[in-house]
A and B are shown apart, each in its own frame.
Chain A
Amino acid sequence: LAKTTQPISMDSYEGQEVNITCSHNNIATNDYITWYQQFPSQGPRFIIQGYKTKVTNEVASLFIPADRKSSTLSLPRVSLSDTAVYYCLVTTGGFKTIFGAGTRLFVKA
């Protein structure tokens, strides 16, 4: 399974755009890139998923370069409620899922 590397923590202020980059140098052809968000005392929650180029939904955007060795989760205009841990995963369908330690985002007023 491709191992992911992402920053341990990030700080931001309300209203700013936050970009969290994840490295996955050994990603396989069949792997998808998936991001989850986890608030304290809750289970992880799916945010966004992509295979290549750019994906956007109502919560975030995901940018994936052509070589797919990294990806960037973009959160527009964060609020205090976006303070959470964000996990980057590469997933290959029905197999062992590796979460890693994630990135702790702290949004300040």
Chain B
Amino acid sequence: GAGVSQSPRYKVTKRGQDVALRCDPISGHVSLYWYRQALGQGPEFLTYFNYEAQQDKSGLPNDRFSAERPEGSISTLTIQRTEQRDSAMYRCASSLTSGAGQETQYFGPGTRLLVL
């Protein structure tokens, strides 16, 4: 595809349910990032992958949040036992390389999660 895609674009769920958010990065991009963005705030880093390896998950709020990228391409962010405070826009980004701070991150359209 031409850009980063995310699905679903919108997700409404009830408190206590598990949700899985999918990110399909630009083909060939090595690095993949997950962010959470509250209304009026900047993106908040959650986790980062280099190929299939999760290099940094220090931004995951708690152990209900997990992410994987098993084949180094598509990634899934899973939130277990959702809570209302998890409601936010979840954004994924990918970059061609992972070195030296020069890489450009390309963002997807995001998944708007609403927990009732």
Contact = CB atoms under 8 A, between A and B. Distances in A.
Interface of A: 30-32, 34, 36, 42-46, 49, 85, 87, 90-102
10 contacts: A42-B107, A46-B105, A91-B102, A93-B98, A93-B99, A94-B31, A94-B99, A95-B55, A95-B56, A99-B43
A74 to B, nearest CB: 19
A43 B23 CA distance: 13
Contacts of A97: 33, 45, 48, 105
Interface SS majority for chain B: loop
Contacts of B1: none
A2 B55 CA distance: 19
Interface in B10-50: 31, 33, 35, 41-45, 48, 50
B59 interface: yes
